[in-house]
């Protein structure tokens, strides 16, 4: 039996991957895209994996964003939100003239340096950056989002250094993720990456997204602030290594 692009066995394994990825997203607010893409490419070509994961990520962002809407740290948004959109547009243009790998490698190095620094500094002792830093870090996140589909780490670093509590952190990141989904959705549509078969494949995997988010959300309210901060750093480290060593 076929489930979208998947055979029966591949479908069961893929559901487990999606459930794990979105449980992590429900718990700390990000990370589902990298985990999903990294593992699903063993079952799907990359050009099919990315739009399927994009659709699932858009649903996840809307679900968490709606749930956390009242917790969004709106004062953080003006610089961060505007420059993320500009970065998404710029990234689409850069994609035409530069290899994506050369840009993502630089981002990977930046992430690993940040993780190393944050690991030897207690989370509560991380420097507090001014809100204007949302401009360059949001722009970088937008550029990488268009090139690679995973521009979150620089935005995560900014939100960490604004010292938001874990609920505000997750809510604010989801607002940016919804923006990313809307802009990239338009780009993917006009580039022809989204089609009926892709949509049906995403629909087959949607129950795993729901179960994963519910599980992660349950854990989110039970994890203490310090372990939460360190879990964020672990996921960031995995992201950085993935970008440096594809």
Q: What is the pLDDT of residues 19-32, one digit of tens each?
A: 988 988 888 777 77
Rounded Cα distance between 125 and 119, Å, is: 11
Query: Chain-wide mean pLDDT for the chain?
Result: 79
The separation between the first and the last C-alpha atoms of the chain, rounded to the nearest angstrom, is 33
Is there a contact between 83 and 136 (Cβ–Cβ < 8 Å)?
yes
Higher pLDDT pick, 184 / 94: 184
Question: Residue with structure tokens 């809407």?
Answer: 69
Contact 166, 225 (CB under 8 A): yes
pLDDT score of 178: 84
Q: State the pTM of this model.
A: 0.72
Reported as a pLDDT band with limits 50, 70 and 90, residue 226 is confident
pLDDT value at 164 more than 80: yes
pLDDT at 242 over 90: no
Q: What is the distance between the alpha carbons of residues 184 and 146, in angstroms, rounded to a whole number?
A: 7
């Amino acid at each position: 039996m076929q489930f979208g692009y998947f055979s029966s066995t591949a479908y069961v394994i893929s559901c487990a991957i999606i459930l794990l990825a979105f449980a992590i997203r429900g718990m700390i607010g990000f990370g589902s895209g990298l985990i999903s893409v990294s593992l699903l490419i063993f079952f799907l070509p990359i050009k099919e994996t990315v739009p399927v994961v994009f659709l699932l990520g858009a649903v996840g962002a809307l679900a968490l964003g709606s749930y956390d809407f009242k917790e969004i740290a709106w004062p953080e948004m003006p610089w961060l939100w505007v420059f993320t959109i500009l970065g998404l547009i710029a990234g689409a243009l850069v994609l035409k003239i530069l290899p994506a790998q050369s840009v993502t490698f630089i981002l990977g190095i930046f992430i690993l340096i940040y993780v190393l620094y944050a690991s030897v500094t207690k989370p509560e002792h991380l420097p507090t950056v001014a809100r204007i830093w949302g401009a360059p870090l949001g722009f970088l996140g937008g550029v990488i989002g268009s090139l690679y589909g995973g521009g979150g780490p620089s935005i995560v670093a900014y939100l960490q250094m604004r010292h938001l509590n874990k609920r505000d952190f997750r809510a604010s990141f989801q607002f940016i993720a919804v923006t990313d989904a809307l802009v990239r959705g338009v780009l993917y549509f006009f580039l022809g990456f989204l089609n009926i078969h892709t949509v049906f494949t995403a629909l087959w995997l949607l129950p795993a997204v729901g179960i994963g988010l519910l599980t992660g959300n349950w854990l989110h309210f039970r994890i203490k602030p310090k372990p939460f901060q360190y879990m964020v750093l672990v996921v960031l480290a995995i992201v950085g290594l993935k970008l440096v060593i594809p």
